[in-house]
Amino acid sequence: MVAMEAKGWIGASVPRREDARHLLGQGVFAGDVTAPGMLELAFWRSPVAHGRIGAVTRPAGVFGAGEIGPVTLLPAGPDMPGFRQAPYPPLADGVVRFVGQPVLAALAATRGAAEDLCARCEVEIAPLPAFADVPAALAPGAAVLHPGWADNRYGSGHVKAGDVAGLDAPIRIRRKLGLGRQSAAPMEPRALIAVPDRRTGELVLHISSQGPHVLRHALAAMLGLPESRLRVVAPDVGGGFGAKNRLMPEEVVACALALKLDRPIRWVEDRREHLMAGAQAREHLYDLTLHATRDGIALGIEGELWVDAGAYALWPTGAFAEAGMAARNLGGPYGIAHLDVRHHTVATTKPPMGPYRGVGRTGACFAIERLMDALADEVGVSRYEIRRRNLIAKLPHVTAAGMTLDTGDYPAALEACVGMLDLPALEARRAAGERVGVGFAIYTEQSGHGTAEWAGRKARVVPGHETATLRMHPDGSLTLLTAIHNHGQGLETTLAQIVAEELGLHPEAIAVRHGDTGLSPFGFGTFASRSLVFAGGAAKAAAEMLGAKLRRIAAHFLQADLALVELRGGRAWAGAASLPLVDLAHAATMRQERLPPGEPPGLEATADYCPPEDAGVFSYGVHAAVVRVDAETGAVALEDYCVAEDCGTMINPMIVDGQVKGGVVQGIGTALTEELRFDAEAQPLSTTFADYRLPDAPSLPEIRVLHLVTPARCTVHGAKGVGEGGAIAPPAAIASAVEQALGLGMVVTATPVTPRRVLSVLP
């Protein structure tokens, strides 16, 4: 056992233990797993956006709907009566509703041979009307996509607070705004292998997933299996960002066929499939009016927003959180007391929408920040000044939508971000004719939210708790078992830091295992910036329980007062006397006759954790983008990008920086390059990385990050979530910077801000 510094692991930039295996190429991703007798799966996918399936001709080895064994479809979307159901069949049953929808499943010894089988399939499809966007889907007289629906809305909601209509505000600014459609595009596409285990009778599914326990629950229900007979293992996962946190048809088909044929079945998504049929994201439309005073004080927002949720609702919650969250977050970090916003989740003949880093808030931030820029222009103050006037000055603050912004200092973050820039130098360049500009955007990031928040959203799965088991083995080594998942967030390192801090050990002494329903207690997985708060809380609680027991045993061995015993450096101390923990572990497991009277054997603690602040804790930050625009070509070059953010106590600042920077660059993709485009017949136009362009190193400046630290009131060590925030603000900041560079008012209303869009707004 490694024993080093007893205290001080919280706030230390401990190098990540995850790195070594990846740097040697020894990580194991789901697509690396094989099994004897394995068959490879490929899908024949719909070539049209909407149509009725007729005659099907196919070779042996190809399965259609109804031929993969019994499957029960699950209701999906919020658990509320008004939300219309659109169950997503694993294989299309009669009707196809987007290009790329799985229709037939082909099995062969190799993926190439399975694709050959698909190439020999012939499927007659009688075309039905396609709706490629929200206006088309909601046009009067549009056909409905799902039987029994009155129109093409899954549902609508209304966020109302105060009295916008009664404000009689002197300034009203109405704008239509929109975000493009995106793919989360983790570098590892989805992958899975379903392996029947004849010894245990389990079906073992290795899958690239953010939440294996919840996935198991749904899959078992669909397949009619007891959960005890389905083990879901998420090994190394090559990025998720939300895209691997919904039940998808491919895993249902693979598992059903593995059960039916009693053979291992592997499916590895290719990039075209990911961009064509994976969960998609963003695509919001807004029609909003900001009400404000002549001093530029924003008072209220009214209007509507629409989310293009695609053809089906993905289990469990579909994309409904998207619209509701966008509406509730429209006030941003500003003290806007009046909200009257209707939101609509709309079905189109496009792939289903799932969550993506920043869910709802990237759109909401774009909308409110664009409106604030318009307000600044209207009242004739700078875009910095308009924010200074409107930021909530004192926390905690309950927003119009009822969210409690808990701790921090928003104006201080704005000043800190401004302080990172040399604004006079920028102004001098502008004066000299250079087309450079700076834009600001401010966000809040709800994180670590619990039961009341999720239940309030009518979620079908309420991730309000997380459980950890900490086990000390007879030799004194430790294993932490957790049900969150680590796919880049460094949680194997940070959770070990938290346990190490509690038990006076080096983090290396603690193995962290996750991602396997066969190993850990039930839990929800990693999403919604929740894992450090939830799993950290559970790990700390388990470590406290185990530590208490170790101290009791040590007090007995050392003949000392329990209150005097402390754990430090791998030993239990009472004054100058000490014992190695291994002696306590050995006694508790192998030699229980040595334990104090009444002390039960074993050294294992399982703790459940529910965060005390159900509504979550709010990280926040101010982003500043500096751009240079080529007015001839419309090209936008990012010169500088600054972030002043506060995510509470940082367990590992190096990892926090990585989360912030990675999020920012995804947001830069939203802002400038990434868009899943479709033609009028809803044919996808962005199905390779040549067409769907992720940011790469030459196009980016260094992302400069400054941390303000205001601990949360109740979370473990005062930490808040930090995964998503970086991805929220960049579109708003960059749009604003482009306008300043061109000397224009608020004219950029949609993302991505491509050269075409830039040139289209030039006078």
CA dihedral over 136, 140, 142, 145, signed as positive or negative: positive
| Minimum distance from residue 271 beta carbon to other proteins (Å) | 4
Q: Which is nearer to other proteins, 111 or 146 (CB)?
A: 111
| Minimum distance from residue 701 beta carbon to other proteins (Å) | 9
Cα(357)–Cα(405) distance, integer angstroms: 20
Q: Does 576 bind other proteins (CB under 8 A)?
A: no
Among 446, 578, 666, 740, binds other proteins (CB under 8 A): 666
Among 26, 57, 228, 382, binds other proteins (CB under 8 A): 26
Q: Which of 2, 5, 89, 100 is nearest to 43 (CA)?
A: 100
Instruction: Write the Ramachandran bin of 408: left for phi over 0, alpha for psi from -120 to 50, otherwise beta.
Output: left
| Minimum distance from residue 546 beta carbon to other proteins (Å) | 29
Q: Which is nearer to other proteins, 469 or 652 (CB)?
A: 652
Q: Are 731 and 362 in contact (CB under 8 A)?
A: yes
Among 187, 431, 432, 576, binds other proteins (CB under 8 A): 187
Q: If binding means CB under 8 A, how many residues of this protein chain bind other proteins?
A: 72
| Minimum distance from residue 119 beta carbon to other proteins (Å) | 7
CA dihedral over 498, 501, 507, 509, signed as positive or negative: negative
Cα(247)–Cα(267) distance, integer angstroms: 15
Among 5, 7, 8, 21, binds other proteins (CB under 8 A): 21
| Minimum distance from residue 519 beta carbon to other proteins (Å) | 21
SS (H, E, C) 455-501: HHCCCCCCCCCEEEEEEECCCCCEEEEECCCCCCCCHHHHHHHHHHH
Q: Does 397 bind other proteins (CB under 8 A)?
A: no
Q: Does 112 bind other proteins (CB under 8 A)?
A: yes
Instruction: Give one DSSP letter per residue of 369-398, joined into a string.
Output: HHHHHHHHHHHT--HHHHHHHHB--SSSEE
From 236-244, 380-388, 556-564, 733-741, give the range in contact with other proteins by CB under 8 A.
236-244
Q: Which is nearer to other proteins, 241 or 410 (CB)?
A: 241
| Minimum distance from residue 16 beta carbon to other proteins (Å) | 7
What's the distance, CA 380 to chain centroid? 38
- Residue type at 37 in one-letter notation: G
Residues 1-20 that bind other proteins (CB under 8 A): 15-16, 18-20
Interaction mask 740-759, other proteins, x per CB under 8 A: ---------------xx--x
For residue 25, with 0-12 CB atoms within 10 Å meaning exposed, 13-18 middle and 19 or more buried, which class applies?
exposed
Q: Does 207 bind other proteins (CB under 8 A)?
A: no
Residues 679-738 that bind other proteins (CB under 8 A): 688-690, 693-694, 696-700, 702-703
Rg, the chain, Cα only:
27
* H/E run at residue 259: helix 249-261
From 476-484, 501-509, 530-538, 628-636, give the range in contact with other proteins by CB under 8 A.
628-636
Interaction mask 279-318, other proteins, x per CB under 8 A: ----------------------------------------
Among 133, 188, 406, 466, binds other proteins (CB under 8 A): 188
Q: Does 488 bind other proteins (CB under 8 A)?
A: yes
Q: Which residues are registered as beta bridge partners of 513?
A: 481
| Minimum distance from residue 272 beta carbon to other proteins (Å) | 6
Q: Which is nearer to other proteins, 78 or 663 (CB)?
A: 663
Q: Does 23 bind other proteins (CB under 8 A)?
A: yes
Cβ-Cβ contacts under 8 Å for 185 (sequence gap 6 or more): 241, 243, 274, 275, 674, 692, 694
Q: Does 665 bind other proteins (CB under 8 A)?
A: yes
Cβ-Cβ contacts under 8 Å for 76 (sequence gap 6 or more): 85, 86, 87, 88, 247, 312, 313, 314, 315, 316, 317, 318, 460
Place of tokens 């920077």: 661
Q: Which of 181, 284, 281 is nearest to 241 (CA)?
A: 281
Q: Which is nearer to other proteins, 340 or 492 (CB)?
A: 492
